[in-house]
Structure 1
Amino acid sequence: MTSEGAYTRVCSLGDLPEEGALSVEIGDTPVAVVRSEGQVYAISDICSHAEVNLSEGEVEDGTIECWLHGSCFDLRSGKPLNPPATQAVPTYAVKIDGDDVLVSLDPTNP
């Protein structure tokens, strides 16, 4: 991984499945880099309900489902769409530079 300003290169587009997730770490922060419906998102890789990796769940229609208890999270907002999760998970800014996927943990980045 390489840093570019507040963004860190986490993978290439070719590393991401068409509808799926890849688990990466930026420093000590676990991040799920997700491709869904042609868009790339970055979301916390830890479920707010059970503290398991979201990147191991199913990706469909702009959501990721926790494999343990079935809560789905909106990839844009991080908000849970169904129980048992009730708290949102952080989302992060993504930039695509050529084939590189860059993620910023800085909350001030759009």
Structure 2
Amino acid sequence: MSADLNGWQAVCPMAELLPGEHTVCFDGDTAILVCNIDGEIYALEDKCTHQDFELSPGKLDGAEIECVLHGARFDVRTGQALCAPAYAPVPKFPVRIDNGMIYTRDDR
């Protein structure tokens, strides 16, 4: 999707990201994983902190996503690493919903 004003990136309509689902959007070169956990939307970098591998191919189980490369798990609400081999958290990004559309941005 295209960029919105002030650097916000349109992800998708809220109706297209159902609870338990996730998708990826880009802010420049940054892949952002966007997850719907029980109707709440969370966004974090789509990169495992253990070995720079995408998290998006992983299974979303509740609020946890597992990296398919080595099994590291992260809480998508906080970015916190939940088990080895990852120890560092994944960067989180802000989310906003405007007129039924989900937006996020890399504000680092």
Cα shift at 1:82: 0.7
Task: Name the structure 2 match of 1:72.
Answer: 73
Task: Name the structure 2 match of 1:85.
Answer: 86
Cα shift at 1:80: 0.3
Larger deviation, residues 27-36 vs 16-25: 16-25
**3-state SS in 1 of match to 2:15:** helix
Cα shift at 1:24: 1.4
Tell me if the contact between 1:36 and 1:60 (Cα under 8 Å) persists in the aligned partners: no
Superposed structure 1 runs of 4+ greater than 4 Å apart: none
Cα shift at 1:5: 2.0
Compare the two structures and name the one with the higher strand fraction.
1
Question: Separation in 2 of the partners of 1:73 and 1:8?
Answer: 23
Q: How does 1:11-26 map to 2 (within 5 A)?
A: 11-26=12-27
Task: Name the structure 2 match of 1:63.
Answer: 64
Per-residue CA distance 1:1-25 (angstroms, 9 max, x = gap)? 1313242212222332421211211
Cα shift at 1:66: 1.0
TM-score, reference length from structure 1: 0.86
Structure 2, unaligned runs of 5 or more = none
Give the aligned residue type for 2:87. Answer: T
Cα shift at 1:49: 0.9
Question: Separation in 1 of the partners of 2:27 and 2:105?
Answer: 9
Tell me if the contact between 2:18 and 2:39 (Cα under 8 Å) persists in the aligned partners: no
Tell me if the contact between 1:31 and 1:43 (Cα under 8 Å) persists in the aligned partners: yes
Identical positions, percent: 33
Give the aligned residue type for 2:57. Answer: E
Question: Separation in 1 of the partners of 2:61 and 2:98?
Answer: 24
